[in-house]
Amino acid sequence: MTAANRPQLTRSPWTENDEKAVAIARALAADAVQKVGNGHPGTAMSLAPVAYTLFQRFLRHDPTQPEWLGRDRFVLSCGHSSLTLYIQLFLSGYGLSLDDLKAFRTAGSLTPAHPEYGHTKGVEITTGPLGSGIASAVGMAMAARYEKGLFDPKSETSLFDHTIWVIASDGDLQEGLSAEASSLAGTQALGNLVVIYDDNRISIEGDTHVSFTEDVSARYRAYGWNVLEVAALADGNVDRDGLEAAMVKAEATTDAPTLIRLKTVIAWPAPKARGTSKSHGSALGADEVAATKIALGLNPDETFIAPDELVAHTRKVIERGQAERLAWESEFASWKSTHPTEAALLERLQNKKLPADWASAIPTFGSDKEIATRAASGKVINAIAEVLPEFWGGSADLGESNNTTIEEGHSFLPASSAMKDADPYGRIIHFGIREHAMGAVLNGIALHGLTKAFGGTFLVFSDYMRGAVRLAALMDIPSTFVWTHDSVGVGEDGPTHQPVEHVSSLRAIPNLAVIRPADANETAIAWREVITRAKPVGLILSRQNLPVVDRTTHASAEGVAKGAYILKDSDGTPDVIIIATGSEVQYALGAQTILAAQGIKARVVSAPCIEWFNETSDSYKESVLPTSVKARVSVEAGIALGWREFVGDAGVSVSLEHYGASAAAGVLFKEYGFTAENVASAAQQSIAKVRV
């Protein structure tokens, strides 16, 4: 059984109660914004019949079990219209109350301005930055297909077939992010993805034709999407019957994603505000709200109208959802009995467990030869892939450079693809040159659950994907970003490709762990921690070969788990502490030798992850960086921003405060002061400051 012949929902005839529920939803949107005095009423009003039809008649969900594995996913990409979602969560019985709607956009409420993942039951993703929702929905659809390959590759059941539903706005489709992701979705032939495009031609500046006149339908057909168009009714209302017919066709389309282009009139049926930009982001005003209620057949003197009998009608969706879930669970029990291996894997993933001995597969590296941390990372990725089938990923067209290819993993491409090695359940994701979409897709995969995905590009291009990285950190989801070519060590490619400010900039993102390992073994331990911690993280790796530290004479790379550790200590209390990351650790060790010859005792601290170090106990921090030692040096081939916290008033930072140049890496490191001699000189300067 496949998604195409999955048991279809039985839809009751549309009734007068459904019409009343839609009217109530429109009025609730107007009231909620009017009460708080700010927000976006217009889209929530015009989309009320769309969202109601979806939640009541199409979406497979059980409001009493929001985490049900077999559920469909809903993404409100136009997150500013959060009331579109909140009102349906209220009417469907997810736990939101009328008081929650009255508390819209107020402190501590369950109805914040934009939907927030983990804050409100039924919210699958944090949205607000336009384009991000639809892009992450592409990731959810990809994850659903990959999971299908893990548990039901022969398509013997419909248990793992579900639909990712999206409502997107003009603004979403104007963002380049959505174009990147939509192009990828077409290439991937994601037949489990349906986007309802709210084509109302209004944004903050008015008619979108001041900037957005392309033929969106033609664009999406060119991407390889199935495109269905539904015009508005003569009076401007949504053609709900036409929409439902289109949604039925979309569900039946399994060989391509579907875009339903739905014509709407924003703020319908408000007499004066409909079709205006004012209704997009402002309260309608008391008189207009009252007039709207009269047009809807409601009492203009009542606010937050939600009659008990009508709410009882809308919450019958719980009965339908529970019946659907129970049928699914019955089939699931049968599947488990006949597929014990797959069932055991699923149980492990649902419980967020790892195999007991999985980490033993991670390689260790000898100090007999140099290796770039990107190359070491590639070896670790393949070792992890051997023991964790849920592990998959790729890069933004830089697989060989980022070392993000899983050997024999096959390309994640639809069966219809003519590309070599195509496999609808392949482990290698070809994101194309779409860094921002890659980040958002990774977020969608993480949100969908069960699997662990990664994506790589050059560090300098992390700028292109910063919005997605920030959202991963905001949602606290385990998106793994692999950024290679981490400094002027890129060499001859020159300043356009040599990151300078990027590491510090990424460290400024709260809740993102930024890891810059010093050698191959630090890289291996870093990957182990990435997998076990399951948090948002960026791995920053070198292009050039680096020495592998001899761990028989230096501290174990296990110190990476604490973020920073004493790599090589002095005899007795140090005169100076040298803190370094990544490729510059070798120069710190060289400086220690030079200083020892001068009778100066230096401690070398490798600090691959400041965020992890900050999570350790005060006593551990003190043991690594004793406050009594004031002479300190930081060494990192980027701007020094952030290092003063660790080196203090007497500290010296060996850093790079300007752009690079097109020259060999060795030439640039020497010219810019990243040498053992210069680090030793910086240590002497810091000691001199302390003694003054």
Quick: pLDDT tens for 451-466.
Answer: 999 999 999 999 999 9
Burial 326-359 (b: 16+ CB within 10 A, else e): eebeebbeebeeebeebbebbeebeeeebeeebb
Q: Which domains does the chain have, with CATH numbers?
A: 17-323 (3.40.50.970), 358-540 (3.40.50.970), 560-691 (3.40.50.920)
Sign of CA dihedral 308, 312, 315, 317: negative
Span 30-37, average pLDDT: 98
Q: Is the pLDDT of residue 614 over 70?
A: yes
Q: Longest C-alpha distance within the chain, in Å?
A: 90
pLDDT tens for each residue of 369-389: 999 999 999 999 999 999 999
Q: Is the pLDDT of residue 125 over 90?
A: yes
Neighbours of 12 (CB within 10 A): 10
What type of residue sits at position 389? Answer: P
d(CA 197, CA 168): 5
Identify any residues that bridge with 247 across adjacent strands, giving them in sequence order.
none
Task: State the pLDDT confidence band at 188, using cuts at 50, 70 and 90.
Answer: very high
Q: What amino acid positions are annotated as catalytic residues?
A: 435
Alpha-carbon torsion angle 134, 138, 139, 141, nearest 10? 130
Q: Cα 560–563–567 angle (5° rounding)?
A: 55
Strand 202-203 relative to strand 206-207, pairing: antiparallel
Instruction: Say if residues 59 and 251 touch (Cβ distance below 8 Å).
Output: no
Helix (H) or strand (E) holding 258: strand 258-263
d(CA 589, CA 595): 10
CA-nearest of 141, 221, 217, 168 to 51 is 168
Exposed, middle or buried: residue 107 (CB in 10 Å: 0-12, 13-18, 19+)? exposed
In residues, how long is the chain? 692
Burial 627-647 (b: 16+ CB within 10 A, else e): eebbbbbbbbbbbbebbeebb
Q: Is the pLDDT of residue 1 over 50?
A: no
d(CA 8, CA 16): 24
What type of residue sits at position 184? Answer: L
Instruction: Say if residues 1 and 156 touch (Cβ distance below 8 Å).
Output: yes
Q: Is the pLDDT of residue 2 over 70?
A: no
Peptide bond into 269 cis (omega under 30): yes
d(CA 607, CA 331): 51
pLDDT tens for each residue of 212-261: 999 999 999 999 999 999 999 999 999 999 999 999 999 999 999 999 99
Neighbours of 282 (CB within 10 A): 18
Neighbours of 583 (CB within 10 A): 30
What pLDDT is stored for residue 4 in this prediction? 45
CA-nearest of 525, 537, 432, 406 to 483 is 537
What pLDDT is stored for residue 6 in this prediction? 60
What type of residue sits at position 256? Answer: A
Task: State the pLDDT confidence band at 7, using cuts at 50, 70 and 90.
Answer: low
Strand 193-199 relative to strand 258-263, pairing: parallel
Tokens coding 471: 């959202």
What pLDDT is stored for residue 218 in this prediction? 98
Instruction: Say if residues 683 and 579 touch (Cβ distance below 8 Å).
Output: no
Phi, psi values for residue 270, rounded to 5°: -55, 125
Helix (H) or strand (E) holding 42: helix 41-46
**Secondary structure of residue 604 in the 3-state scheme:** strand
Tell me the average pLDDT of the chain.
97
Cα Rg, the chain, nearest whole Å: 28
Q: Is the pLDDT of residue 277 over 90?
A: yes
Span 515-543, average pLDDT: 98
Percent of the chain with pLDDT over 90: 98
What pLDDT is stored for residue 596 in this prediction? 98
Phi, psi values for residue 635, rounded to 5°: -135, 110
d(CA 620, CA 603): 15
E runs forming strands in 586-676: 602-606, 632-635, 652-654
